[in-house]
């Protein structure tokens, strides 16, 4: 087996490919996160709404998304969904970066379903008397959530949300299946160009691990700095 050529990873064309892939992975993860969190809050509130029909919609969303693998979601949003769009919109989409858009849509919907469950658990952990006290003061459901419940639930919810962020980071790798040129795609591309699988995958492994450990470290710091305060 040829020796491990670290120079390959530090400069040159292949290094550039890998770095570009890493940057795209980070961008996709960040964009998805920014879109998924608000969506997750909406879904969580739907599932806790006093109206049964709204609760059913929320539950259907979560169960429908979570029981289908991310790969199938990506295949659907890349191959299937654009077909349904009106012609003008479809042309505009294909002219741009349809792979990345499909990936972000699929990832956002997928991640939001999981985050919604964590947020819902966080809200349900707040004693119901808090809710009752706010209602007694005259706040409606949404106002209660916004002013009283969610601020408290946040502290409980941050650790599982950080865990979901970790999952999101790792899930960006699956976008490779629809041709998104993120880190995993680039690593495979370097491998097929140079046959140096060890170097290419060492870079990718190190990149994934570094970000993962950084996120885990953030979780540990948060837990240390803001331990859960119970009454």
Partner 1 sequence: MIELVQTYWVYFLIGQYPNGPLGGLALTVLLAALALVLALPLGVVLGLARISPFRAVRWPVTATVYVVRGVPLLMVIFWAYFFLPSVTGHKTDQFSTMLIALVLFDGVYLAEIVRAGILGIPKGQAECARSLGLGYWRTMRLVILPQALRHMLPSLVNQFVATIKETSLGYIIGLTEVSFIAAQINTQVFTRATEVYGLLALTYFVLCFGLSRVAHGLERRLTRRSPVRPASASPTLQSQQASA
Kindly list the residues in this chain that would bind partner 1 in the complex (CB under 8 A): 1, 48, 63-64, 66-73, 75-76, 79-81, 83-84, 123-129, 131, 170-171, 173-174, 176-177, 184, 187-188, 191, 197, 201, 204-205, 208-209, 212-213, 216, 231
Least distance to partner 1, CB of residue 125, Å: 6
Which token pair is 100? Answer: 């990345």
**Residue keyed to tokens 């980070």:** 26
Between 20 and 191, CB nearer to partner 1: 191
Phi, psi of 144 (to 5 degrees): -60, -45
Least distance to partner 1, CB of residue 131, Å: 7
Least distance to partner 1, CB of residue 213, Å: 6
Least distance to partner 1, CB of residue 208, Å: 5
Count other Cβ atoms within 10 Å, centred on residue 204.
23
Least distance to partner 1, CB of residue 128, Å: 5
Phi, psi of 200 (to 5 degrees): -60, -50
Beta carbons of 178 and 73 less than 8 angstroms apart: no
- Write the DSSP string, 186-229: HHHHHHHHH--HHHHHHHHHHHHHHHHHHHHHHHHHHHHHSPPP
Return the closest-CA partner of residue 166 out of 12, 72, 44, 33: 33
Q: How many CA atoms lie within 13 A of 131 on its CB side?
A: 14
| CA–CA distance, 189 with 52 (Å, rounded to integer) | 50
Between 11 and 187, CB nearer to partner 1: 187
Between 91 and 197, CB nearer to partner 1: 197
Least distance to partner 1, CB of residue 105, Å: 14
């Amino acid at each position: 087996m040829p020796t491990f050529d670290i120079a390959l990873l530090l400069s040159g064309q292949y290094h550039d490919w890998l770095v570009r892939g890493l940057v795209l992975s980070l961008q996709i993860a960040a964009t998805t996160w920014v879109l998924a969190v608000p969506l997750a809050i909406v879904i969580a509130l739907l599932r806790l709404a006093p109206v049964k029909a709204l609760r059913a919609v929320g539950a259907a969303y979560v169960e429908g998304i979570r029981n289908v693998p991310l790969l199938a979601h990506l295949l659907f949003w890349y191959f299937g969904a654009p077909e349904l769009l009106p012609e003008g919109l479809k042309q505009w989409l294909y002219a741009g970066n349809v792979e990345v858009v499909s990936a972000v849509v699929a990832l956002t919907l997928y991640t939001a379903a999981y985050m919604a469950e964590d947020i819902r658990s966080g809200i349900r952990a707040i004693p119901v008397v808090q809710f009752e006290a706010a209602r007694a003061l005259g706040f409606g459901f949404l106002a209660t959530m916004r002013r009283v419940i969610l601020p408290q639930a946040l502290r409980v919810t941050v650790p599982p949300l950080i865990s979901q962020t970790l999952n999101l980071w790792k899930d960006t790798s699956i976008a490779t299946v629809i041709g998104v040129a993120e880190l995993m795609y680039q690593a495979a591309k370097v491998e097929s160009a140079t046959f140096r699988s060890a170097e290419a995958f060492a870079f990718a492994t190190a990149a994934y691990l570094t970000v993962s450990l950084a996120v885990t470290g953030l979780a540990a710091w948060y837990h240390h700095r803001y331990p859960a305060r119970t009454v």
